[in-house]
Amino acid sequence: MWPDDRDLPVEVEAAFGATLTADPGTWAWTDLTSRLRANPITVRQNVFPTPSTCSVTLHNDDGALTPLHPMSPYWPNVDLGTPLRVRLRRAEDTFARTVSNEWGTTESGHVWTSSSGALSNYAVTGGAGRHTHAAVNAVRRTTLNTSLLDCEQTVDVAPSALLTGAALVTGLVFRFDGTNFYWLRCEMKAGGTGVMLKITRAAGVSFTDLAVLDPVPGLAYAANTYLRVRASVVGTKLAIKVWNPAGPEPSGWQLTATDNTLTTAGATGVQSWLVVGNTNTLPVYAYHRNYAVRVERFAGYADQWKPTYLPTGEVGNMSSAVEVTCSGVLRRIQQGARDPESPMRRTIRAAGPVAYWPLEDGATSQQGGAITNAPPLRVTGASQFVAIEDTVLQSGSFLYLQAGTLALLNLAGGGTVSAALPSDVTKATATAWAVSLVAAPDYLTAAADIVLAEVNTPGGTYVKWQLIYRKTLLREQIVAYDQSGAATTVIDSGGVTGGSIVSYDFGVWQSGGTINVGYLTFTGSYYLTGSLSGTLTGVASVGLNTTRTTQNTQLPFGHLAVWAAQRTPVQPASPDVYGRVVLGSLDSWQREAATIRLARLFAENSVSADVPAVPALAVQRMGSQPAGSLIDLAQECVDVDGGTLYERSFGVAYLPRADRYNQPADLTVDLATLRRSDQTSATDVLAPTYDDQLIRNQWKVDRRNGSFAIDVDVDSQRRGVYSDSVELNLAYDADLIDQASWRVHLGGVVDLREDSVPVDLAANPGMVDGWLSCRVGARVVRINPPAQYRPGALDRIVMGWTETLGPRQWLVRFDPEPAQPWDVAVADGPQRVAPTGATLAASATAAATTLSLATVGSSGLWTTKAASFPLDLDVNGERVTVSAITGTSSPQTATVAARSVNGVVKAHPAGAPVTVWQPAVIAL
């Protein structure tokens, strides 16, 4: 077992020619592991906004990895932006042994443990791990002595017979803690050869299916014939695929699900089940072979290929190697100028219109630029692009709301805009199309009817469609015109949508011989509908204010979009998962939850983002989303919520503030038994500094376009005032003081500080699984520090790391942050509130079994309730456990159950400070 008898099983793969906008699950990977040189791989995991990096050196004597080399088998894809990943093959088993009553030990040195039924149901024979089902409704589970949080597993599975009556199910187990686990499974169906996939969350024998694919298209099973199952659980994302290994692997995951229920590391392995109702002659066997577990260490994109060439001593011959430097997705996002997109432009662009004109052009623009491959909108007549702050809006509601656009096009002077669409757009919209726009007409001062939008569809039964405001009728209508020019009113609104800037949308689609029409979408469906007989054709051109109506006030238009769909996917407002109605992009997403906005922003830029939901009480709501780059807008969300954003698996992942509270330890390091190899020096295993870098005892928090709040930790200002300030994009002034006080709390914990903490896994391989389950934000506790160090454990949060991986080398240096501030009060938890200014009323020897506790009258007394004990006190730096406190006035008497709990042994003078060991901190 590594590192004693094998090299570190690291794999390096590249996805040459991958389409970077496609799901990474669809990429085809080339294994470059055989090209690895002895040079160690260096991985640097950073936190937002700094990209993570990786450096890998590969053999290149054949020139295959030389950039721009036309003789490379990968030509022309040895290129910048090529995806590359580094994975550790944590466990593997080809079952090349014979074992009875158990599965034994894998080639990687891991031990299988069987459960659920007699050991006689488990064996390794014929190159496979076998589960025996001698009865129906019996589960067979075999797990490894691993404990992993995020990983990918593969296994080949086969049934011993075609199933009758009911199915045989087998698949991969993740995060198994003895009771709870995820089961990503393949079901060989009865009465045929079909295969079903399920993603299931299990609590003992209680199963909850999170996703089902029935059947897997084009796949069949046969008796004693293997199918290959690949499954992954990373963060909240679960995925599985199955295929016949004699053919190609499917390009993407066939079934996915999202779940945030099981969040701790657990065992990996396989589980099978013969379903109730099976009528096969028993026993039925489930066979498993070619099992492997892989854990990702880096996923990113090549930003540098650096080949080197050295003489070999033979004339005309040189050896070559290539150093590949890669970075995470944040590097690509940050490259070049940052386009400050408005909320509407960002949301509409991401929703995939076939033609889109934001109409946010500059004041002297002579056209409306297009986001898609459509031509610009041609501007005719009196018109002017007007910045939104100079736009006259007709409703006072916008005194408190920020419009989601940078500018609008004012056509009040009788101007009009139009554009002919490319033939591919016309073809794409042949059977369904929708048009959306925003406008702010003043119905009282318009000179005549206003054609808010016109759509031309030549060749159909109806060749022109208009959305019209009827001035004399005070209502909106959708009118269709046939080839003779005859008009048919399809929808009459019965009133005006009116108000300030308004989103208008309507759609037309074919259904048999009927053309359906819808107007104004709310929560995914049309508010008004109508229909006509006839045949629809695609959109050839569009226009605004085509009758060139004038208006005494401004007549702003913007964000004209055409969709190849029945309705626009962009909604003006909708309830979020917490039941709160959030305004849409038209109103700059006012009141949106910070975590929801963060996920939406990355989705709008086609970047995978794993952002778990947070409890309703932990939600921090945002103010209006300004125009900005993805990086700047994401930083706003992180600042408001207070969590941690980082790169993972070709995307990003987020650890919400609420998930950082009261975390259990992910890795425990015993400094008393820690081994050291040549990778680490004796001086850096524990080399702390006591300084003031992290102290912040006064915070001023401003709300953008709002008020401010200041919070101060008066007690800590004996060291001096360390002030700081921040502007947050909060929805409400009422949240300011909580934000300020939380920051004062985070900055008030004074502790020894370390620049980095080494974890030498080659010298301490028993810590490998613990480290592999450490994400950014994980908690590492080091116990048993040397006697010269202050007593107590060193409790830290991982905020990034550098990882050096070689054949017999694996050194981690992680960036630590104090964990103590994140331990907050919970109902019935260990945290307590002490009387202010409590002291010892009398001196106490180092062996005293009672303590006399004095309190100041206004601060109250220590509790005497039996249910509050045992209670840990901090007596002048010594942790003391007391079993009871008695007395109805000061001083009170505390009965000591244990002294020197933290290793401090000393006497205490009268007047020594006394507080609770775990103060109750109120979470943000």
Nearest to 93 by CA among 301, 279, 275, 269: 269
Whole-angstrom Cα distance, residue 828 to residue 831? 8
User: What single DSSP character describes residue 248?
Assistant: P
Measure the CA–CA gap between 198 and 387, rounded to whole angstroms: 52
Asked if residues 697 and 747 have their Cβ atoms less than 8 Å apart, the reply is yes
- pLDDT (0 to 100) of residue 523: 63
Neighbours of 651 (CB within 10 A): 19
Nearest C-alpha neighbor of 257 from the set 242, 243, 241, 236: 236
Mean pLDDT by 10 residues, the chain (924 residues): 84 96 93 93 97 97 94 96 97 96 94 90 96 95 95 98 97 96 97 96 92 97 97 97 96 95 96 97 97 98 94 76 96 81 95 96 93 92 87 50 88 94 96 95 85 96 96 92 96 80 93 95 82 97 95 90 94 86 91 97 95 95 94 97 97 96 94 82 79 90 96 84 96 96 90 90 94 97 90 93 94 94 86 90 95 89 93 94 94 95 92 92 89
Which three-class secondary structure state does DSSP give residue 687?
coil
Other residues' Cβ atoms within 10 Å of the Cβ of residue 296: 19
DSSP string, 859-870: G------GGG-S
Helices (H) and strands (E) in the chain, counts: 8, 56
Instruction: Tell me if the bond preceding 664 is cis, omega within 30° of 0.
Output: no
Q: What gap in Å lies between CA 765 and CA 527, rounded to an integer?
A: 63
Secondary structure letter of residue 844 according to DSSP = B
- Residue 537, pLDDT score: 97
CB–CB of 152/232 below 8 Å? Answer: yes
Q: Which residues contact 421 (CB under 8 A, 6 or more apart)?
A: 354, 355, 374, 375, 539, 540, 541, 542, 562
pTM tops 0.75, yes or no: yes
Burial track 168-191 (b if 16+ CB lie within 10 A, e otherwise)? bbbbbbbbbeeebbbbbbbbbbbe
Residue from 650, 577, 656, 641 nearest 611 by CA: 656
Sheet holding 206-213, edge to edge: 112-115, 138-144, 267-274, 168-176, 180-188, 195-203, 206-213
Distance CA 454, CA 443 (A): 19
Identify whether the C-beta of residue 710 lies closer than 8 Å to the C-beta of residue 700: yes
Q: What angle do CA 390, 394, 398 make, to 5 degrees?
A: 70
Report the distance separating Cα 152 and Cα 269, nearest Å. Answer: 11
Which pair of structure tokens corresponds to residue 131?
A: 């589960």
Is the separation of the CB atoms in 328 and 48 below 8 Å? no
Backbone torsions φ then ψ of 354, nearest 5 degrees: -85, -15
Q: Which residue has the tokens 């303590």?
A: 851
Instruction: Compute the distance between CA of residue 97 and CA of residue 884 in angstroms, rounded to an integer.
Output: 61
- Residue 225 CB burial class (10 angstroms; 0-12, 13-18, ≥19): middle
Structure tokens of 802?
A: 């550098």
Quote the pLDDT of residue 395: 44
In the chain, the amino acid numbered 712 is V
Residue 515 CB contacts under 8 Å (≥ 6 apart), including other chains: 461, 462, 480, 508, 509, 531, 532, 533, 534, 535, 536
Decide if 255 contacts 214 (C-beta within 8 A): no
Q: What is the model's pLDDT at position 731? A: 95
Contacts of 772 (CB under 8 A, 6+ apart): 88, 90, 148, 149, 151, 295
Q: CA 144, 149, 155, 161: dihedral to nearest 10 degrees?
A: 80
Quote the tokens at residue 699. Answer: 């915070």
Residue 139, SS3? strand
Beta-carbon-side half-sphere exposure of residue 738 (alpha carbons within 13 Å): 14
- What DSSP letter does each residue of 324-383 carry, written as one string? EEEE-HHHHHHSS----B-HHHHHHHHT--SEEE-----TT-SEE--SSSSPPEEEESS-
